[in-house]
């Protein structure tokens, strides 16, 4: 073989051998960069594991495992959340318990009279009127009907005049130094039991009156009228507006339209106990049945069946001044026109032209014909609801709120006189209802 050929083959072999043992400069540069990065890369924190998770098969040293966040099984996540909630609740209970022990350190200290929660005791309230049990909070005062073993000082005793009561145990009840004895009445006082009057030289037994009478120190009723968007009771009413629908708010006008559209029956009355006292009612209803169809229900409260009627017959044999039968309010509340049979003068007690009085019609037949006429002329019927353009009928859901506010006022700021200057005997005897009506025909 020629010498030149041998030299060429030897050179090629050396080059191939060099390529097998020498790394490409670019590859070497990339490898060096990776090694430098690994040396300069800090320890991966817990917050960066989602971006660069560790290899699943890598074993961790003890120091690394201390900082490693444990993996939570999805099923155990709910358990952890539950335990955290329990811990939080326990913490709240501990804080409440700590605050609850504060009064224990103050038992020996005298608490200012103004900071004490006032207590109103209902001496003879109807249990059905206590929806929250024997005691509840009302406008910041404790209202209770429980007398036995009641240790707190009572600030006001409320006596319902239309229910029987006795003063026998009153001296045994813990009372505040300036407690009130309140004479309360929702129903006509002629039906009430005559209250015990003081003997000569004694102060009045009752030092606060809270009744439906307008001369009471607190006027009290289950419903009252206010101006729209106000809460204060109105004492007088404006005359009806000729174009009341122009003044009525849109939502009130729409409600009136919706209510009148559902009315497809004429007149109803509320069932009553049949006895000698109710005989005039029975005779009047018997006469009315000769001209119109009558239906009867036990109550309109909590039911919608009364909304289908145009009129509600309401009997009042007392005609007591300042008294408005509750059924009148209930009818108005249901968008039903009240028809008062008997009764007294309701001027400034309800809006004018908001009810119909049997006194304006000589006979029951004339009243029946007028009711049928109003049904045939819807525009005239709607005029009995004109008052919705100015007033709002509100139900008194917290009847003792006014009394509670009075008790919490400083004595020097009270505008109602509750001392012996208020002569209860005169207040009681100067007002009496007329003789009970014996016939409505």
In-domain check, residue 361 = yes
Is 269 in the same domain as 378? yes
Q: What mean pLDDT comes out for the span 233-244?
A: 91
Q: Model confidence at 315, in pLDDT bands (50, 70, 90)? A: very high
The confidence score (pLDDT) of residue 165 equals 83
CA dist list (Å): 385 to 126, 254, 266, 370, 396:
33, 13, 17, 17, 21
Is 335 in the same domain as 191? no
The confidence score (pLDDT) of residue 90 equals 75
Q: What mean pLDDT comes out for the span 172-186?
A: 91
In-domain check, residue 348 = yes
DSSP state of 238: P
- Domain CATH code at residue 234: 3.40.50
Q: What mean pLDDT comes out for the span 405-423?
A: 74
Match 């100067």 to its residue by tokens: 430
Q: Model confidence at 39, in pLDDT bands (50, 70, 90)? A: very low
Q: Model confidence at 31, in pLDDT bands (50, 70, 90)? A: very low
Q: Are 181 and 189 a contacting pair, CB within 8 Å?
A: no
What are the backbone angles phi and psi of residue 119, rounded to the nearest 5°? Answer: -120, 130
Is 178 in the same domain as 236? no
Is 279 in the same domain as 235? yes
Lowest mean pLDDT segment, chosen from 132-141, 240-249, 306-315, 328-337: 132-141
* pLDDT, mean over the chain: 78
* Gap between the Cα atoms of 409 and 426, Å rounded: 27
**Cβ count within 10 A of residue 342:** 21
Number of C-alpha atoms within 13 angstroms, CB side, residue 241?
13
Is 172 in the same domain as 202? yes
- Report the candidate in 245, 244, 183, 267 with the shortest Cα–Cα distance to residue 217: 183
In-domain check, residue 97 = no
The confidence score (pLDDT) of residue 417 equals 64
Run of H or E residues at 280: helix 279-288
Q: Which residue has the higher pLDDT, 380 or 126?
A: 380
The confidence score (pLDDT) of residue 40 equals 42
Sort strands 141-144 and 208-211 into parallel, antiparallel or unpaired.
Answer: unpaired
Is 157 in the same domain as 280? no
Q: What mean pLDDT comes out for the span 73-101?
A: 64
Question: Helix (H) and strand (E) counts for the chain?
Answer: 13, 14
Q: What mean pLDDT comes out for the span 295-299?
A: 93
Is 175 in the same domain as 194? yes
The confidence score (pLDDT) of residue 116 equals 86
Is 331 in the same domain as 253? yes
In-domain check, residue 195 = yes
Is 129 in the same domain as 208? yes
The confidence score (pLDDT) of residue 374 equals 98
Q: What mean pLDDT comes out for the span 41-50?
A: 41
The confidence score (pLDDT) of residue 189 equals 82
Whether 264 shows a pLDDT value over 50: the answer reads yes
In-domain check, residue 96 = no
Whether 405 shows a pLDDT value over 70: the answer reads yes
Q: Are 334 and 317 a contacting pair, CB within 8 Å?
A: no
Q: Model confidence at 268, in pLDDT bands (50, 70, 90)? A: very high
Is 238 in the same domain as 380? yes
Is 213 in the same domain as 359? no
Is 212 in the same domain as 250? no
Torsion of CA 269, 270, 272, 274, to 10 degrees: 30
* Gap between the Cα atoms of 314 and 325, Å rounded: 8
Which positions ≥6 away from 316 have C-beta within 8 Å?
A: 323, 325, 340, 341, 342, 343, 344
Burial state string for 353-386 with b = 16 or more CB within 10 A and e = fewer than 16? ebbbebeebeebeebbeebeebbeeeeebbbbbb
In-domain check, residue 355 = yes
CA dist list (Å): 133 to 144, 145, 231, 403:
8, 9, 28, 20
Cα dihedral across residues 246, 250, 254, 256: positive or negative = negative
* Gap between the Cα atoms of 114 and 112, Å rounded: 5
3-state secondary structure of 178: strand
Q: Which of 102-116, 159-173, 385-399 has the highest mean pLDDT?
A: 385-399
pLDDT tens-digit series, residues 333-377: 999 999 999 998 898 999 999 999 999 999 999 999 999 999 999
Provide the domain limits for residue 242: 224-395
* Gap between the Cα atoms of 193 and 429, Å rounded: 13
Q: How many domains does the chain have?
A: 2
Q: Model confidence at 180, in pLDDT bands (50, 70, 90)? A: very high
């Amino acid at each position: 073989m020629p010498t030149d050929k041998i030299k060429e083959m030897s050179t090629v072999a050396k080059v191939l051998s060099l390529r097998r043992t020498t790394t490409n400069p670019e590859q070497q540069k990339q490898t060096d960069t990776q090694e430098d990065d690994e040396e300069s890369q800090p320890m991966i924190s817990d917050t960066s594991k989602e971006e660069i998770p560790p290899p699943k098969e890598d074993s961790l040293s003890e120091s690394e495992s201390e900082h490693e966040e444990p993996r939570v099984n999805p099923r155990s996540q709910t358990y952890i959340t539950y335990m955290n909630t329990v811990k939080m609740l326990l913490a709240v209970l501990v804080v409440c318990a700590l605050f609850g022990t504060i009064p224990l350190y103050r038992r020996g200290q005298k608490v200012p009279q103004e900071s004490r929660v006032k207590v109103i005791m209902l001496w003879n309230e109807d249990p059905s009127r206590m929806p929250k049990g024997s005691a509840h909070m009302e406008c910041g005062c404790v209202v209770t009907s429980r007398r036995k073993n009641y240790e707190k000082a009572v600030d006001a005793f409320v006596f319902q005049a239309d229910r029987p009561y006795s003063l026998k145990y009153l001296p045994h009840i813990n009372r505040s130094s300036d407690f009130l004895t309140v004479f309360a009445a929702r129903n006509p006082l002629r039906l009430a039991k005559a209250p015990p009057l003081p003997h000569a030289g004694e102060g009045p037994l009752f030092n606060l009156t809270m009744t439906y009478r307008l001369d009471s120190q607190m006027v009290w009723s289950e419903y009252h009228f206010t101006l729209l968007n106000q809460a204060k009771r109105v004492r007088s009413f404006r005359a009806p507006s000729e174009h009341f629908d122009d003044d009525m708010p849109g939502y009130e006008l729409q409600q009136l339209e919706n209510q009148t559209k559902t009315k497809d029956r004429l007149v109803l009355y509320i069932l009553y106990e049949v006895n000698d006292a109710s005989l005039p009612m029975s005779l009047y209803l018997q006469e009315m049945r000769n001209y119109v169809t009558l239906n009867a229900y036990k109550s309109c409260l909590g039911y919608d069946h009364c909304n289908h009627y145009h009129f509600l017959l309401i009997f009042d044999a007392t005609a007591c001044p300042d008294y408005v039968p509750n059924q009148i309010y209930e009818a108005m509340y249901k968008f039903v026109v009240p028809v008062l049979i008997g009764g007294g003068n309701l001027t400034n007690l309800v809006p004018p032209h908001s009810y119909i009085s049997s006194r304006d019609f000589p006979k029951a037949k004339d009243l029946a014909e007028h009711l049928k006429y109003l049904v045939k002329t819807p525009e005239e019927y709607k005029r009995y609801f004109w008052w919705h353009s100015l007033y709002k009928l509100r139900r008194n859901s917290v009847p003792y709120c006014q009394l509670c506010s009075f008790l919490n006022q400083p004595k020097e700021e009270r505008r109602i006189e509750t001392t012996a200057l208020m002569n209860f005997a005169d207040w009681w005897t100067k007002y009496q209802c007329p003789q009970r009506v014996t016939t409505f025909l």
